[in-house]
Amino acid sequence: MNAPAQPRFTLERQRQIVAALDKLLPAGCVLFNEEDTRPYECDGLSAYRQLPMVVALPQNEAQVIDILKTCRDLQVPIVPRGAGTGLSGGAMPIADGVVVSTAKFNKIIKLDPYARTAIVQPGVRNLAISEASAPHGLYYAPDPSSQIACTIGGNVAENSGGVHCLKYGLTVHNVLRVRMITIDGDVVELGGGALDAPGLDLLAVFIGSEGMLGIVTEVTVKLVPKPQLARVIMASFDDVVKGGDAVANVIAAGIIPAGLEMMDKTSSRMVEPFVKAGYDTDAAAILLCESDGMPEEVEEEIARMTEVLKASGATAIAVSQNEAERLKFWSGRKNAFPAAGRISPDYYCMDGTIPRKHLAQVLVRITEMESKYGLRCANVFHAGDGNLHPLILFDANQPGEFERAEAFGADILELCVEVGGTITGEHGVGIEKINSMCVQFSPAEREAFFSVKRAFDTAFLLNPDKAIPSLHRCAEYGKMHVKRGQLKFAELERF
């Protein structure tokens, strides 16, 4: 793959770009002083940092078009950015690039309770859609744990999931239409108002494309009726293997819970003193297993799930008795990532997906890796989807710990591939898992991904260096390590 080599950062280049963008955007919407650009240096994967050359804050689609055309003409790489909650470095800036933030492009354009749809701008927060729909008895189903902050543009780019996606589907199942702008400034609409749209299903290609194909400017989402009742079971297990097997048993019984999450002892112990969710902190693993729908359906499903969980070896079972208790049970799970900060100076959140039947086996192997790398790992994850989130705990101030955490994470991802899974669940590839793409995909497959990128991004300027590794990069895999946020071989020509 040979894309044009990009000019690197110089003050003269920065002045040129700022002058060009200042003509397009209102005052205060082009940032370039270090104190203004510093907040954009990383996303949720804070171990990897890079100060951007410039940050642009468009407020409408016309401004996005102008920015893209200008950057194409000046050959400036672009990194789209929503709320920056991504966990794989997808929104991490490029030294000689422009970050295009949608923070000011955040209105709900139309909410249609009869069609059960909402048309929103990319910077609208995920939770804000459900809050606006609530008076109509509706909500937007995909619910990443970051939903209070993350944007719909970021959700589309990452094909985000959440606790309730087992039953209601991922972003790709809940978005009808995306309007986006290519690097050439062309407006493209993918999908439509109905369930299916004529032509190739490019909407599905675009969702999950990590800001590499175009900038999202408008999204039509589906809204679903709020269930009349939801109840959650909290089941304890004295062995993670039994807990993992219980997950497979629930699904094998023909039940699709509204949520099926697992936390190991390290996770429940780190979160319980902080949230006081009532977790059994002596259990080796706890499962949260939700049912929602009409009250009669819920009662029947809760009874069936209880039976399966007991038969799978649950040592204790508690069922939420009211909405406040249900939210309390979930609050621990939803706050698990921040709670990791209570027991460790740093944590590295991995994200891979495996077939559910291998959950128990993989959890045992991760425990073995804890000894191998001399680091603790807390497991809190979307068990029903087989989507693992091992939180590797480390201290970046201790020499070598970050490198060991990285190697531990890469080992987990290779294990996911080994058991027939994938290196990404819902957090994307970004910069974090780009080397692991070399393990999962052949050169021919990676070249096919590049061909898709070239078809949308003719100038190869949209979020380059992310998600798809070049041949060159894969050849370096093994030798190439990110050290304290710096690429060891940063001088390598792009692609």
- Residues of span 39-98 touching ligand FAD by CB under 6 A: 43-44, 79-87, 90-91
- Residues of span 99-128 touching ligand FAD by CB under 6 A: 102, 122
Q: At its nearest, how many Å lie between ligand FAD and the CB of residue 307?
A: 29
Closer by beta carbon to ligand FAD, 66 or else 245:
66
Closer by beta carbon to ligand FAD, 79 or else 283:
79
What is the C-alpha separation between 463 and 456, in angstroms, rounded? 12
Under the binding rule (CB under 6 A), the answer on residue 153 touching ligand FAD is yes
> Are 118 and 132 within 8 A, CB to CB?
yes
Closer by beta carbon to ligand FAD, 81 or else 222:
81
Q: Which of 50, 145, 182, 291 binds ligand FAD (CB under 6 A)?
A: 145
Q: At its nearest, how many Å lie between ligand FAD and the CB of residue 316?
A: 26
- Provide the 3-class DSSP secondary structure of residue 72: helix
**Number of neighbours of residue 79 by Cβ within 10 angstroms:** 26
- Residues of span 460-479 touching ligand FAD by CB under 6 A: 463
Token pair recorded at residue 460: 């190869």
Q: Which DSSP letter does residue 337 get? A: H
Phi, psi for 14 (deg, rounded to 5): -60, -45
Partnered with residue 229 across adjacent β-strands are 293
Helical ranges in 344-492 per DSSP H? 359-373, 401-418, 434-440, 443-456, 471-476
Q: At its nearest, how many Å lie between ligand FAD and the CB of residue 322?
A: 25
Closer by beta carbon to ligand FAD, 103 or else 197:
103
For helices 359-373 and 401-418, angle between their N-to-C axes, nearest 10 degrees: 150
Q: At its nearest, how many Å lie between ligand FAD and the CB of residue 251?
A: 19
Closer by beta carbon to ligand FAD, 231 or else 427:
427
Q: Which of 77, 97, 162, 191 binds ligand FAD (CB under 6 A)?
A: 162
Phi, psi for 213 (deg, rounded to 5): -110, -30
- Positive or negative torsion for Cα 351, 353, 354, 360: positive
Under the binding rule (CB under 6 A), the answer on residue 332 touching ligand FAD is no
Under the binding rule (CB under 6 A), the answer on residue 356 touching ligand FAD is no
> Are 337 and 392 within 8 A, CB to CB?
no
- Provide the 3-class DSSP secondary structure of residue 273: helix
Helical ranges in 23-150 per DSSP H? 34-37, 61-74, 126-133
Q: At its nearest, how many Å lie between ligand FAD and the CB of residue 230?
A: 18
Q: Which DSSP letter does residue 110 get? A: E
Q: At its nearest, how many Å lie between ligand FAD and the CB of residue 256?
A: 18
Closer by beta carbon to ligand FAD, 236 or else 386:
386
Q: Which of 61, 158, 264, 290 binds ligand FAD (CB under 6 A)?
A: 158
Token pair recorded at residue 181: 């702008």
Q: At its nearest, how many Å lie between ligand FAD and the CB of residue 98?
A: 12
Q: Maximum Cα–Cα distance for the chain, whole Å? A: 69
Question: How, if at all, do strands 316-319 and 259-264 pair?
Answer: unpaired
Q: At its nearest, how many Å lie between ligand FAD and the CB of residue 283?
A: 22
Question: How, if at all, do strands 224-225 and 259-264 pair?
Answer: unpaired
Quick note: the x/- pattern for ligand FAD over 399-428, rule CB under 6 A, is: ---------------------------xx-
Partnered with residue 291 across adjacent β-strands are 231
Under the binding rule (CB under 6 A), the answer on residue 391 touching ligand FAD is no
Closer by beta carbon to ligand FAD, 284 or else 336:
336
The span of 32-40, 148-156, 272-280, 395-403 binding ligand FAD (CB under 6 A) equals 148-156
What is the C-alpha separation between 17 and 54, in angstroms, rounded? 8
**Lookup result for tokens 């270090």:** 34
What is the C-alpha separation between 101 and 426, in angstroms, rounded? 21
The span of 26-34, 55-63, 138-146, 442-450 binding ligand FAD (CB under 6 A) equals 138-146
Q: 145, exposed or middle or buried, with CB in 10 Å at 0-12, 13-18, 19+?
A: buried
Under the binding rule (CB under 6 A), the answer on residue 150 touching ligand FAD is yes
Under the binding rule (CB under 6 A), the answer on residue 330 touching ligand FAD is no
Closer by beta carbon to ligand FAD, 280 or else 426:
426
Closer by beta carbon to ligand FAD, 44 or else 97:
44
What is the C-alpha separation between 186 and 64, in angstroms, rounded? 10
Q: At its nearest, how many Å lie between ligand FAD and the CB of residue 238?
A: 27
The span of 20-28, 144-152, 256-264, 309-317 binding ligand FAD (CB under 6 A) equals 144-152
Q: At its nearest, how many Å lie between ligand FAD and the CB of residue 40?
A: 10
Which residues are at the interface with ligand FAD (CB under 6 A)?
A: 43-44, 79-87, 90-91, 102, 122, 144-146, 150-151, 153-155, 157-158, 160-162, 210-211, 215-216, 337, 426-427, 463
